[in-house]
Structure 1
Amino acid sequence: MPVLLYVLAVAVFAQGTSEFVLAGLVPGISADLGVSVAQAGYLTSGFAVGMVVGAPLTAAVGRRLPPRRTLSACLAVFVLAHVSGALTDSFGVLLGTRFVAALANAGFLAVALSTATLVVPAGRRARALSVLLGGTTLALVAGVPAGALLGELWGWRSALWAIAGLATAALVAVLRLTPDRPGRKGATRSALSGHTGDPSRLGLRAELRTLRSPDLQRHLALGVLVNGATFCAFTYLAVVVTDGAGLGPSLVPVVLALFGLGAFAGVSAAGRLADSRGRLLLDVAGPTLVLGWITWAALAGNPAALWVLAPVQGALSFAVGSTLIARAMAAAQGAPTMGGAFSTVALNLGAVGGPLLGGVGLAALGTAGPLVVGAALAGAAVLLRLATARRRTTVPVA
């Protein structure tokens, strides 16, 4: 794999840490800025909305620019947003910096996803994406616990400073290593996009017409459902640990880390299998994922089940999710600069909707509610895939 992919993964790690770490910093922010915990929770919602808006907006604005400029500009804005957030004493300003950081994060991820598919041979696309998305899973394993520890030792601002520092290092590397026009080894530019010439010269309307593809629509919808199930359960995992399994709050980071370790293993396995056996992976892992959520919901009060199912469900969720991203990117080859934005929006629609539905499930069904909703969303994905199987268009991912 090109070194550039690992540099991009470091940036994604910093951004993923920023996205998830606020959940552990909300109490400190609430006390420091004099707002309620519920108000402080809006910081997470603001970030999610920024992610949904930022991906297509940034990709569309920067589509005619070299990837190096767009990626570095997004990282620079991301760094400045975190520095501003760490310095402010105003909750309104902090909320604004979270929205701006999310815009930059989404734009970076959209362009990075597209770039990752251009710097490797077609048969290694899924593996390249798994390296990139490995940054997100490592953020769950290491970044979030580290950020929570910094917040506990030196306050929530220290976590923002650490994220800004890591993103600055990634910015320097991106400026040095990203080519102006990355091309896939052994492939012509026309082979990348299905069009002749520079893909950035393809009209925006022509790229957006790719969204009419039933196969792309199918995989984007599946991505929304599966990611919705993942974040529905993950968002309320602390409640499942303490109120459901009856474990102490000190064990919540351990369970989160186990889920993250499983997620990293799932992304890594999918990267090796999705290019050649993606369909088989979805056929097996998809229904197993549903069964896992159902089992966890039924055994929500059993601590032993939690220790087993946290890493297993993390692995299945991210294996299925990353495979769907790879297949969506393959189906969006007619949109060489916007394909990453389509996938980013789908993932974050799931990240916004899943927790909202999980909250409804929690209120209606108690501790097991988010797990039940997660099972329903993942089950809907399996049913949708089966219902549309006969009408799908073959894409160049097995």
Structure 2
Amino acid sequence: MTSPAATLFRCLFAGQAGLLVLTPVLSDVARAFGVSAATAGQLRAVSGAVAALVALGLLAGGRRWDLRDLLSAGLTSIATASAASAVAPTFEVLATAQVVLGAGMALVLAAGLAAAARWAPDGERAKVLSWALIGQPIAWVVGMPVVGVLGAQSWRLTWLLPLAASLFALVGVHGRNREGPEPASAGSPLRRPGVTRWAAGELLAFAGWAGVLVYSGSLLTDAHGVAVTTAGTALGAGAAGYVVGTFLARRWVVQAARRLVLVTSPALAAAAVLLGSFRPSFGMSVALFALTALLAGMRMMAGSALGLDLGAGPLQAMSVRAAAVQFGYFGGSALGGVGLMLAGWSGLGAVLAVFLLLSAVVTATPRVMVKVGA
């Protein structure tokens, strides 16, 4: 049987692969269907909105399902959506495929992070959680160069990455035994102390980070005029910062997760402003993206740790987080696009920074306590 860390790494890798493929080829997709880059960016808003609704549905009925079954359903949805996106004849069909993709990403994200708590051996929750979470940035590190090479031939070929990744992850998931649904608990998790503030903070933080993910590829190709292959390779290298940040945060989340959230959120906001407004060279933009990714890795690891210790149960807590993440992605994609249209890349950076600063303000409550190592 594959270890929980390896299995969940594959799952989160596949989920992120479905998200990242559009990043370096967004401009190509826009040209292929005769729409603006901002309009093409709304494809992520579509999948995000659906993912948020699916995550909310898990809050009501998620405890009736086994985590393995949820992961299998999510990965199958990602594979199906990827195949449909690759052959989409119109922008409307491509947008429809993002509906299926969004549902799959929500299932994988919620069930995958819940499994990090439930499947982890005693005392190893932070370790398994960190390995699950780095599946996302590793998808960028490995996947972006692949997407860049495939995208240079055709943006349609880029969908081979999430298709292959989801099928590979399914093999690991099917190798685990069913364990039954989580034990039921009374009441909505949002009624527990600190959960609503934490969820709102996650929503705002991911709105800021989503804008970076959705539009960074276009920033490199449009603002600096580099090829898709070059942009994909650069973004993949820069995303290694997220891995570093996640492992750095793992050292402190047992005792200081809330403090880490409050410190990294404004730092991440400053990095977003610089990424959008300070573009003296291609190399500097890539370096700023890497710095932003490092701070995001620390912030998201700390935020996940907070949620798992709020007493709501792993699946319900991570369903709340998945909903917050996807609503955040929706807001970041949509309002980030507005900022881009009104004030260019500097406007985009300013909008994202506001989200990130507000996430620190909302999360600033002493009632949120963390005992990840318990």
Kept after mapping to 2: 8 A contact 1:56/1:107: no
What is the Cα deviation at residue 335 of structure 1?
3.3
**TM-score normalized by structure 1?**
0.81
Counterpart AA for 1:380: L
Q: Which residue number in structure 1 is paired with residue 302 of structure 2?
A: 323
Alignment partner for residue 274 of structure 1, among 239, 248, 253?
253
Please give the alpha-carbon distance, in whole angstroms, between the structure 2 residues aligned to 1:116 and 1:140.
Answer: 21
The separation in 2 between residues aligned to 1:104 and 1:243, in whole angstroms, is: 31
Instruction: Give matches, 1:1-398, under 5 Å.
Output: 3-26=3-26, 29=29, 36-37=35-36, 40-58=40-58, 60-89=60-89, 91-121=91-121, 123-153=123-153, 155-177=154-176, 179-181=177-179, 199-200=182-183, 202=184, 206-208=186-188, 210-238=189-217, 240-241=219-220, 246=224, 248-249=226-227, 251-296=230-275, 299-301=278-280, 305-331=284-310, 333-386=311-364, 388-389=365-366, 392-397=367-372
Scaled by the length of structure 2, the TM-score of the pair is 0.86
Give the aligned residue type for 2:82. H
State how far apart, in whole Å, the 2-side matches of 1:163 and 1:254 are: 17
**TM-fit CA distance, 1:281:** 2.6
Q: State the identity as a percent.
A: 25
Q: How many residue pairs are counted as aligned between the two chains?
A: 370
State the alpha-carbon separation in 2 of the partners of residues 318 and 79 from structure 1: 26
Amino acid in structure 2 at the alignment position of 1:278:
A
Structure 1 alignment gaps of length 5 or more: 183-197
Whether the 8 Å contact between 1:13 and 1:143 is mirrored in structure 2 is no
8 Å Cα contact 1:21-1:148 kept in structure 2 = no
Distance in 1 (alpha carbons) for counterparts of 2:83 and 2:283:
42
Equivalent pair of 1:330/1:395 in contact (CA under 8 Å): yes
Runs of at least 5 residues in structure 2 that lack an aligned partner in the other structure: none
Deviation at 1:320, TM superposition (A): 0.8
Which shows bigger deviation, 295-304 or 274-283? 295-304
Shift of 1:88: 4.9
Which SS does the other structure have where 1:57 is aligned? helix
Aligned-partner residue type, residue 165 of structure 2 = L
User: Matches of 1:141 and 1:261 in 2, distance apart?
Assistant: 6
Q: Provide the rounded CA distance (Å) in 2 between the counterparts of 1:20 and 1:136.
A: 9
Distance 1:376 1:120 in 2: 36
Q: CA deviation at 1:167?
A: 1.4
Larger Rg: 1
Q: Distance in 1 between matches of 2:344 and 2:29?
A: 27
Q: Greater relative contact order: 1 or 2 (C-alpha under 8 angstroms, separation 6 or more)?
A: 2
Change (3 A) 1:276 1:348: same
2:46 touches 2:330 (CA, 8 Å); kept in 1?
no
Query: Would you say the 8 A contact 1:137–1:261 is kept in 2?
Result: yes
What amino acid sits opposite 1:277 in the alignment?
A
CA RMSD across the alignment: 3.0
